[in-house]
Amino acid sequence: MLTLEEAKKAVVEDFSMYDEWLDKYEYLIELGKNLEPYPEEDKTDDKLIKGCQSRVWLDSKVEEGKVFFKADSDAIITKGIISLLISVYSGRTPEEIADDDFGFISEIGLKENLSPTRANGLVSMIEKIKELARESIGSKASTDDVLTAEDAKTLAPLYDNVVLALKQVYDPEIPVNIYDLGLIYELIINKKHEAFIKMTFTAPTCPMADEVLAEVKASVADVPGITACEVELTFEPPWDQSMLSEEARLELGLD
């Protein structure tokens, strides 16, 4: 996957191929027509972006710490524009999106060349994308909130139970659970009792990665009292044997 800067550069380059504005519109129309279908049942008012002459729906989900967008519009050029934004910003971390200045929009001339009403629509789209990204940071950021003694008391057993749940998930190749293997780098439960897990695999090429991640998510989410679970995959730092727990070392006969 391209980095955010690379993706923006690619869009600017694509647009620079067209001198005529009608050709740029042809390109946006094409993008709009090829945008992944958006479910009719998700065309609800809370997904509708205000400030556009046409109707635009934008929705997001967070998976493994990345924000993914889907969108639709009843006007095809607008749909092309939102498709362009999604192609650049989907799959980025919330921080990357929230901190970005979206300056490449003016580089491709979209902002100046769209009428003020339309430009407002574009501004609203960008605001909504940022808002959705910030919301997903927000839910994480609340982990930093100061916990009262009362909070700590209710959270403590939840941590124990989540650890127990993680111990039920086994590495597909090694007969040791992922917790004792040291694959869990971070475990945070916020005041809303949402669990955030940062984890790794013994090797970046693990063929069962998706299944394991899904299993982690499902078993943690099943813990009574836990309201949601997000799992983020990282290979920084890379895993090595020193991360094994005492029990795991015994189990594997390493000592």
Active site residues: 52
Residue 91-130 contact track with other proteins, rule CB under 8 A, x = bound: ----------------------xxx-xx------------
Minimum CB distance to other proteins smaller for 76 or for 108: 76
Q: Per rule CB under 8 A, is residue 55 in the interface with other proteins?
A: yes
Cα 58 from Cα 66, distance rounded (Å):
16
Minimum separation from the CB atom of position 87 to other proteins (A) = 20
Q: Please pick, from the candidates 7, 11, 71, 77, the single residue that binds other proteins as defined by CB under 8 A.
A: 77
Residue 138-177 contact track with other proteins, rule CB under 8 A, x = bound: ----------------------------------------
Q: Can you read off the two tokens belonging to residue 16?
A: 């620079």
Dihedral angle sign, alpha carbons of residues 96, 100, 105, 111: positive
Tell me the β-bridge partners of 64.
Answer: none
Minimum separation from the CB atom of position 53 to other proteins (A) = 5
Pairing mode, strands 184-189 and 56-63: unpaired
- For residue 179, the tally of other CB atoms under 10 A from its CB is 22
Cα 99 from Cα 102, distance rounded (Å):
9
Q: Please pick, from the candidates 14, 51, 54, 206, the single residue that binds other proteins as defined by CB under 8 A.
A: 54
Minimum CB distance to other proteins smaller for 118 or for 217: 118
Minimum CB distance to other proteins smaller for 4 or for 81: 81
DSSP secondary structure string, 136-194? HHHHHHGGGSPPPHHHHHHHHHHHHHHHHHHTT-B-SSSSSBHHHHT-EEEEEE-TT-E
Q: Per rule CB under 8 A, is residue 83 in the interface with other proteins?
A: no
Minimum CB distance to other proteins smaller for 53 or for 227: 53
Minimum CB distance to other proteins smaller for 119 or for 137: 119
Contact 231, 217 (CB under 8 A): yes
Q: Per rule CB under 8 A, is residue 74 in the interface with other proteins?
A: yes
Q: What are phi and psi of 57, to 5 degrees?
A: -110, 135
Q: Please pick, from the candidates 1, 17, 19, 22, the single residue that binds other proteins as defined by CB under 8 A.
A: 22
Q: What separation in angstroms does the CA of 205 have from each of 166, 177, 208?
A: 21, 19, 9
Rule CB under 8 A: which residues touch other proteins? 21-22, 25-26, 29, 53-55, 74-78, 113-115, 117-118
